A = this chain, B = another copy of it.
């Protein structure tokens, strides 16, 4: 069966192909009656515009790309984060009749710039959603903007004045979590920092310090250890903290994977969570509900953020206005089972 084309529809509706095109693209200047006739023809013929032809003529691919750090680069890959982003972007794409092209990449690769440029030019991406920590890498951002491809960054750390971005209130919410832990009586609250390349997690560290200060606690260098956002690094950091003399009574890790690693180490060492140790994470990925005990964490609205990013992106593409702006979608505390009052004798 030869696919039905715009000509078939035009013939059946008794109009020119241009009018069909107008209806399909919701352009103005078509009488309601005509629109109805065309729509009917489209329905009976089950017509679907050919994207390739559309793309060629309009110089748009109706494809947007989601670029993120390749999870398989880590010992134990984390997947919940990526899936959430994908879901969010997909939702926006579906609504706007765009398709999503995913592209995990190794950002440490020397030729990452060329790779991205090739991807964009080859696939004719209409826009790009850039996930952290890629969203903080000047080289990558430059490679994209040089091709004039619209770009939205997720959770960028630095300044975002002349670009599109969506982020959450990392700093404030981390201060809140820290204050919450302090309010439970904890005095030695440790912090596991994240990926040093990921600027948003730097803000989380700042929030931790804010929270400490506002609770009248002093920050101690030995209570802050550096992870890389991976589960394994959480285990390593947790072990180090818990084996020190005068270990913390609470550990706040700046993502869930690391917090889950801490939880595992505590279990292994026979430390009772939350009675002897409180543990908190950040993200609220599925893993936070698969640990024992269930993880207290910060619910980052990742899917909503990704969706919003894609909406802004597509909006900018269709209106051709180089929009600018930063949307912030607030995170919230989720208290589950891994946090509790500080142990009394441990002071």
Contacts and interface: CB of A to CB of B under 8 A. Distances in A.
Interface string A109-124: 0000000001001111
Dominant SS at the A interface?
helix
A286 B104 contact: no
A72 interface: yes
B87 A83 contact: no
Contacts of A289: 76, 231
Contact of A268 (B56, B100, B292): B292
Interface in A85-103: 86-87, 90, 97, 99-102
Contacts of A100: 101-102
Contact of A260 (B53, B72, B118, B290): B290
Contact of A83 (B55, B77, B290): B77
A83 B102 contact: no
Contacts of A61: 51-52
A17 interface: no
A57 to B, nearest CB: 9
Contacts of A77: 80, 83, 286
Contacts of A101: 99-101
Interface in A4-54: 48-53
A262 to B, nearest CB: 12
A124 B79 contact: no
A290 to B, nearest CB: 6
A90 B102 contact: yes
A264 interface: yes
Nearest to A86: B102
Contacts of A56: 50, 52-53, 55-56
The count of identical subunits is 2
A267 B286 contact: no
Nearest to A52: B55
A140 to B, nearest CB: 18
A333 interface: no
A71 interface: yes
Contacts of A335: none
A102 B102 contact: yes
B286 A79 contact: yes
A287 interface: yes
Interface string A52-86: 11011000010100000001100011111011001
Contacts of A51: 55, 61, 122-124
A48 B124 CA distance: 10
B76 A290 contact: yes
A287 to B, nearest CB: 7
Contacts of A268: 292
Interface string A281-303: 00000110111100000000000
Given A55-B55, A76-B290, A287-B287, 6 more contacts: A50-B56, A52-B56, A55-B56, A79-B82, A82-B83, A268-B292
15 contacts: A48-B121, A51-B61, A52-B52, A52-B56, A76-B290, A77-B286, A82-B83, A87-B104, A102-B102, A231-B286, A260-B290, A264-B290, A268-B292, A287-B287, A292-B292
5 closest cross-chain pairs (CB), A and B: A52-B55, A79-B79, A79-B83, A52-B56, A267-B292
